[in-house]
A and B are shown apart, each in its own frame.
Chain A
Amino acid sequence: MVSAEHKIEDSRTKVTQRSVWYKIKRLCQRYPLGAIGSFIVFIVVFAAVFADVVAPYDPTQTNAKMSLSAPSAAMLFGGDMMGRDVLSRIIHGARISLAVGIGSTVLGGLLGTIIGLMCGYFLGWFDLIIQRIIDMMQALPLLVMALVMAASLGPSLENTIIAISIPLVPQVARVIRSNVLSLREMPFVEAARSVGMSNGRIAFRHILPNTLAPLIVLGTAQLGSAILTEASLSFLGLGVPEPYPSWGRMLSESAAEYVRVAPWLVIFPGIAISAAVFGANLMGDAVRDYLDPRNQG
C-alpha cells in the first residue's frame, strides 16, 4: 500500500508536464471502470443535449403502421403501442432522466450537506432541533415519502424532482453528520484546532474535503437512485406525465402490459435506465478514488 502511494505521487509530478490528452489517457489507465462509466455518462449527456439532431424521428409522432412493430432497419429499437420510435423516445428520454437525476441529487445533496455539516459541527441545541426535523423526514422511507409528495404535489417534471430530492436530504445529512462526528475527533482536526484555526476554516479546509468522498459516493449512488425512483414512481402511476418520453414511464404500465407481446418495449428502456445508473455509479467510484484527500498525500 505504501509503495502504491509512492507510485501515484511519481505519476502526478509527471502528469503536470504533459498534455491534457495524456492526462486523460493516464486517468483511463488508472481507472478503467471509471473510464467506462464516464463514457456511458458522456453518451447519455450527449443524447440529452443533441436529442433533436440525433433522434431519427419525432418522439411523439404516432404511426398506425408501426404499432408494436419489432426492431427493424426503419426502427432500430422497434415501435411502441402508438407506433412511436422507441429509439427516438429513449434518446429524448435521456433529458428527463438527467433532469430528474441531476436536479434532485443537486437539490437534495446541497441541502443535506449543509444541514449535515452544521449539525455534525455545532452539535448542541441546533443539532438537536435539526436532528428532530431530520428524524421526522427520515421516519418515512424514500419511496413512501416520494409517493406522498408526488400524490400531494401532482404529477409534473418539477414536482417529481422536488419529490425525489426531499427524501434525499435527511439521508445525505445523516451520513455527512456521522462522518463529521468521527472526523472531528481525528488527530488532524484536533491539531488544526490546537493551532487556533477558526471553526469555519476547519469546516472548509479539513472537514468538508474529508467528507467529500462519502458525499460523492452517496451523491452518485443517489443520482442513479433518483433515476430509479422516478421509474418506480412512474410504475406506481405517479411519475413524470405522458407527453415527456421518460424512461420510467416507457417502462411503466403500458410497456409492462405488452411485455410479452413486444419485449423490446421493456428491454430497451430497462437497459437505458440500468446503463445510465451503472455508468453514473462507475464514474462516481472513480471520482471518489481520485478525490480522496489521502490519495493526494
Chain B
Amino acid sequence: MKMNFLKLFATAAVIAGTIGGTSIAFAEKSGGILKFYHRGTPPSGSIHEEATSSTVVPYMSVFNNLVMFDQAKPVNSIETIVPDLATSWEWGNDKSKLTFKLRKGVKFHDGKPFTAKDVACTWNLILGKSKAKLRKNPRKSWYKNLASVETNGDYEVTFNLKRRQPAFLMLLASGYSPVYPCHVPPKKMRTKPIGTGPFKFVSLKQNEHVKFKKNDDYWKKGRPLLDGHEWTIIKSRSTRVLGLIAGKFDMSFAGDISIPIYKDLAKQAPHMVCEKHATNVSTNLIVNQFKAPFDNADIRKAMVLTIDRAAFNKILGHNEFIMGGSMLPPPHGVWGMPPEVLKNVAGYHPDVAANRAEAQKIMKKLGYGPDNPLKIKVATRNIAIYRDPAVLLIDHLKEIYIEGELDTVETSNWHAKVARKDYQVGLNLTGIGVDEPDAMFYENYACGSQRNYTGYCKEEMMALFEKQSMMDDGPERLKLVYEIDKKLQEDAARPIIAHNVRYNCFQPFVKGFKTMTNSLYNGWRFEDIYLDK
C-alpha cells in the first residue's frame, strides 16, 4: 500500500510539472467510463445552492471556475492556484480589485459562447443582485467583502472588493465557485446543469445513478480522457464497500472510507490504491451560551477540560485523527496550530487526569458533585458519524458530574433546531470548502453568519478576523491565525475534538488522479484521469 502511495505521489509530481498538460511522461489512454459509487442522491445539481460533497464531488466536472487548485497537488494553498477560464489575473488598488483576462472560444454545453457576462451573472446571483434568484445561498458569507463585478468587454472581468482581501482568490479556486451560464435559469441548473466543463450532465435518477459523459467540444485540447463517469447510488455503506471489494466500482466516494473500513479493505482487496487524507471536517462541541447554566464560562471551561481527545482518537480514528484547533494543522493543512503551539492551549494538555481534576474542582465550586449532578441533554444528528462521538462525549462528561442524555435529532430537524438555539449541548461536524482562515472564521465564528450555530459574537474577534483577512499570506498572517484560533478554543466558542481522516480508495488502473488532503470539495475535475487497463 505504501509503495503504491509513493508511486502515485511520483506520478502526481510529474503531472504537476506539466501544467496545462499536453505532454505527459506516461502513456495516457483515452476512453472508458469511470465507475463510482455514491452514498446518497445529490440534493440537486446546482453547486451554488448546496454545501455538500454529495453535489460538488460528482458535478464539479460539469463546470469550470475562473481559477482552480492544481488538481495534481494534494495540499491546496494560494501557491497551487492555476488558471481555468481565466487565463491570467491581476490585483489592483492594493489588492482590493481583482481583474481576470478570460479564455476565448469557450462554449457551454448547449453551444452558447462563454463571455464575461456569464461571470458577472454568476456572482450577481450570489450577491442577490440579479433578477433570477437562488433558492438557497449557502456561501453568502464568503462574499461579504465583494462589492460588485464589472465586465470590461467580453473577455475581461473585475471583482471590486470593499477592502483589501488577498485570500479572495482562494475562494474563487474552490470547487464551490463554478461559473454558471447567464442564459440558464436556476431551476434548470438544479435539474439539468449546464457548464463549460469537461463532462456533460446526462441523467440523475433518485437512488439509482448520476451519469456524465465526455464533452467533445471541451476547450482544453485532448481532454478529458475518459468517455464519462457514472455514479451508482448505494445508501448502505456495507453494501457499497462490498461492491468496491468485488470490483464493481473503480473508486470510492469522497470521504466514505473510514479507518476501520480501510483496514478491512487493505486485507480484502490489497491491490487497491488508498490515499489517506484529512477531510477538513472537524468533530466539535457546540454549547449554547444563551442558556443557563452554560452562560457561565467556568462550566464551559470544565467541559473543555474533561474531553479526552486521545480516547476519541483511539476509538473513532484508530489514532489517525488529527488534533488541532479550528484550522487543520500541517502537514495535511496549512493554517492549523502545530503540536508545539497546541499544547499551550487550555484543554489540550495530554494529562487528562490532571485536566479532569481541575474540571472537577470547577464543578464542585459551582455546587455540582457526585450526588448532585448537572442533568443535560446532548443533541446530535441521528447519523452514526454524529452519534458515535456524542456517546463518547456523554461518557466523558460523566467524569465531571454532568449527566448527559442523548437527544438524537432527525436530519430533517437538525439545522432548524440548531438555528432556533433549541439545544443545550450539541455534537456537531463542521466542514469547510477551502482551507483558508477567511472561509472558516467568517462562516463559523462571525457575528450574524448563518452557519455560526453557537451564536458566538465578539467585536474584538471580528476585528482580528478582519486584520488577518487583509494580510498577505506569510509567517505574520500565520502567527495571527494561530493566535485567533487559540482564543477561539479557550473561549470554548466551538471546542474542536478532532479533525477527521479518511481514505480515498481506487483500483490500480485509475491514473492521473490525486486525492487532496485539506479539502473534500476541490479536487474533482477529472479531466486528467485515465484508465490504464
CA distance A143 to B255 in the complex (A): 32
Q: Is A83 an interface residue (CB 8 A)?
A: yes
B:395-418 near A, CB below 8 Å: 395, 405-406, 408, 410
Chain B residue contacts of A61, Cβ below 8 A: 395
Number of interface residues of B (CB under 8 A): 29
Q: Is A257 an interface residue (CB 8 A)?
A: yes
Digitize A224-251: 1 where CB-to-B-CB distance is under 8 Å, 0 elsewhere: 0000000000000100011100000000
Quick one: given A254-B387, A260-B241, A261-B264, are A242 and B315 in contact (CB under 8 Å)?
A: no
Q: Is A60 an interface residue (CB 8 A)?
A: yes
In the complex, what's the smallest C-beta–C-beta distance from B417 to chain A, in angstroms? Answer: 12
Q: Is B271 an interface residue (CB 8 A)?
A: no
Quick one: given A256-B236, A257-B261, are A82 and B314 in contact (CB under 8 Å)?
A: no
Chain A residue contacts of B258, Cβ below 8 A: 257
Between A and B, how many residue pairs show CB distances below 8 Å? 69
**Residues of A in contact with B, size category:** 20 to 34
In the complex, what's the smallest C-beta–C-beta distance from B296 to chain A, in angstroms? Answer: 26
Chain B residue contacts of A155, Cβ below 8 A: 382, 408, 410
Chain A residue contacts of B311, Cβ below 8 A: 62, 64
Tell me what chain A mostly uses at the interface: helix, strand, loop, or mixed: loop
Q: State which of B238, B264, B390 has its C-beta within 8 Å of the C-beta of A256.
A: B238
Q: Is A31 an interface residue (CB 8 A)?
A: no
A:246-287 near B, CB below 8 Å: 253-254, 256-262
Whether A64 and B314, one on each chain, are in contact in the complex, defined by CB atoms closer than 8 angstroms, is yes
Chain A residue contacts of B388, Cβ below 8 A: 81-82, 254
CA distance A253 to B238 in the complex (A): 9
Q: Is B392 an interface residue (CB 8 A)?
A: yes
Whether A62 and B238, one on each chain, are in contact in the complex, defined by CB atoms closer than 8 angstroms, is no
Whether B261 and A81, one on each chain, are in contact in the complex, defined by CB atoms closer than 8 angstroms, is no
Chain A residue contacts of B408, Cβ below 8 A: 155, 241-242
CA distance A258 to B406 in the complex (A): 22
Chain A residue contacts of B261, Cβ below 8 A: 257-258, 260-261
Q: State which of A62, A237, A243 has its C-beta within 8 Å of the C-beta of B406.
A: A243
B236's nearest neighbour on chain A, judged by CB, is A256
Q: Is B391 an interface residue (CB 8 A)?
A: yes
Highest count of chain B CB atoms <10 Å: which of A61, A68, A254, A262: A254
Q: Is A179 an interface residue (CB 8 A)?
A: no
Q: Is A67 an interface residue (CB 8 A)?
A: yes
Q: State which of A62, A65, A237, A260 has its C-beta within 8 Å of the C-beta of B391.
A: A62
Chain A residue contacts of B308, Cβ below 8 A: 64
User: CB within 8 Å of A: which residues of B?
Assistant: 236-238, 241-242, 258, 260-261, 263-264, 268, 308, 310-311, 314-316, 382, 384, 387-388, 390-392, 395, 405-406, 408, 410
